[in-house]
Amino acid sequence: MRSVIYGCFTFLCCTILLPVSARAQLVENFQPAKANCCLPGAAERLADELADWNQLGRYHADDQRLMAMPPEPGRVVFLGDSITDGWDLARSFPGKPYVNRGISGQTTPQMLVRTFPDVIDLHPAAVIILAGTNDIAGNTGPETVTMVEENLQAISELAAQHGIKVILCTLTPVSDYTAHPQTGHRPPTDILKLNDWLRNYAEESHAVLADYYHAIVDEHGMMREGFSNDGLHPNDKGYKLLAPVAEAAIEKALR
């Protein structure tokens, strides 16, 4: 572990120092960026995160528990990012055998790697996929829209090949109505572009579409004011708008 920590420390130093040297100059006012007090600790945390970049460990124990039992009829896996992760499924869908496999901050390449352990191996009747907003934000680096689309297509085709009904969700809009303006990180035009593709692909692949976007968008193309506390994640009021859309899509997929 010590060698890994020092390796990460070296990586951090190279990553941080090289751009600085490229624009280095003498200054009249010394105002450097605030330094972390404990770089070895930061390097150790980074090493731990890089060891499970796709976060397969997040649900591993619960996956093993579910796999040890006969699959519940009507089981549905919700695969997604923080919008799914923060959704209290038991509250929105009481008594339903729905499994939450959302992980905050994740992008479609990470979810693609999780498709087998967190979806297929659980033998659900259906999977409901909400993904792409963090790809737009560049959470794991730059991507083209085609890359995001192909990741979503790969997740869908893997599930379908294993007899799992696929439900594709349109991305929810963002807003600038709160203290955390979101459109700079997630341009509405990019959201619309992915949503257009999702609608077309759902029709071509005979997947069911859950249109979250139109359930929560306002006349300005933003998430309705009062339905999110940060302009990105639905609050309780927001999830109440999404729940019936999800339920109707699940019923359609399982008919």
Give residue 125's domain range: 60-254
pLDDT above 50 (res 5): no
Query: Does 236 lie in the same domain as 138?
Result: yes
Taking residues 12-17, what's their average pLDDT? 44
* Cβ–Cβ under 8 Å, residues 92 and 243: yes
pLDDT of residue 194: 98
In a domain, 28, yes or no: no
In a domain, 29, yes or no: no
Residue 112's identity, in one-letter code, is: L
* Cβ–Cβ under 8 Å, residues 208 and 249: yes
Taking residues 49-78, what's their average pLDDT? 92
Query: Which of 85, 56, 80, 180 shows the shortest CA–CA distance to 133?
Result: 80
How many domains in the chain? 2
Q: How far apart are CA 86 and CA 103, in angstroms?
A: 9
Query: Does 221 lie in the same domain as 98?
Result: yes
Query: Does 181 lie in the same domain as 223?
Result: yes
pLDDT of residue 12: 46
- pLDDT band at residue 162 under the 50/70/90 scheme: very high
* Cβ–Cβ under 8 Å, residues 95 and 116: no
pLDDT of residue 50: 75
